[in-house]
């Protein structure tokens, strides 16, 4: 089953590919690896999921934001690669959580994205290496920002 069919089966839709907001490439293909710049939780209507985790947003809301970031990464992938089926495996994710200083559940937040990719590609190909950290702020006060590396066919 194709990745897009799996998304449909999961009742998930990709948002439009996020526009670039600076001097960078949203995705850079080097050999058989696709490197994704930090993506943020952009919704289909162009709004962002914002707020500081542990203050304005709880863990469940932050996980939902991380899942939305995963969908945004996939939107960029489809836009740049033509098909999500070119992605062969998730190699690495790096997640940043906009949170209060005493928040310590950064990995659980980024699970929102990791679980999405695991559900799409399975535990062997959808789960790569990962880091998660807290940040005092993120651009536009978004709750989560995630960058990644995928192996591409």
- Residue 44 has what pLDDT? 92
Beta strands in the chain (DSSP E): 27-30, 33-39, 87-98, 129-135, 144-152
Mean pLDDT calculated for residue range 54-80: 97
Q: What is the pLDDT of residues 98-137, one digit of tens each?
A: 999 999 999 999 999 999 999 999 999 999 999 999 999 9
| Residues 56, 34 contacting (CB under 8 angstroms) | no
- Residue 106 has what pLDDT? 98
- Residue 63 has what pLDDT? 98
- What is the number of other CB atoms lying within 10 angstroms of the CB of residue 28? 12
Report pTM. 0.96
Percent of the chain with pLDDT over 90: 95
Question: How far out from the chain centre does Cα 54 lie?
Answer: 20
- Residue 73 has what pLDDT? 98
Domain residue limits, the chain? 3-18+27-152
Per-residue 3-state assignment (H helix, E strand, C coil) for 11-50: CCCCCCCCCCCCCCCCEEEECCEEEEEEECCECCCCCECE
- Residue 89 has what pLDDT? 98
Give me the CATH code for the 3-18+27-152 domain, please. Answer: 3.30.1330.40
Instruction: Tell me what the pLDDT averaged over the chain comes to.
Output: 96
pLDDT at 20 over 90: no
pLDDT at 3 over 90: yes
| Residues 42, 146 contacting (CB under 8 angstroms) | no
pLDDT at 49 over 90: yes
């Amino acid at each position: 089953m194709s990745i897009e069919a799996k998304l449909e089966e999961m009742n998930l839709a990709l948002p439009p590919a996020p526009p670039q907001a600076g001097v960078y490439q949203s995705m850079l293909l080097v050999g058989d690896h696709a490197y994704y710049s930090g993506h943020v939780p952009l919704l289909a209507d162009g709004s962002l999921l914002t707020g500081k985790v542990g203050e304005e947003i709880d863990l469940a809301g932050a996980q939902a934001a991380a899942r939305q970031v995963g969908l945004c990464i996939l939107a960029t992938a489809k836009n740049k690669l033509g098909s999500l089926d070119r992605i062969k495996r998730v190699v690495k994710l790096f997640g940043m959580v906009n949170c209060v200083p005493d928040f310590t559940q950064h990995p659980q937040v980024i699970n929102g994205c990791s679980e999405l990719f695991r559900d799409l590609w399975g535990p062997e190909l959808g789960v790569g290496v990962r880091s998660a950290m807290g940040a005092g702020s993120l651009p536009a006060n978004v709750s989560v920002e995630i960058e990644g590396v995928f192996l591409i066919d």
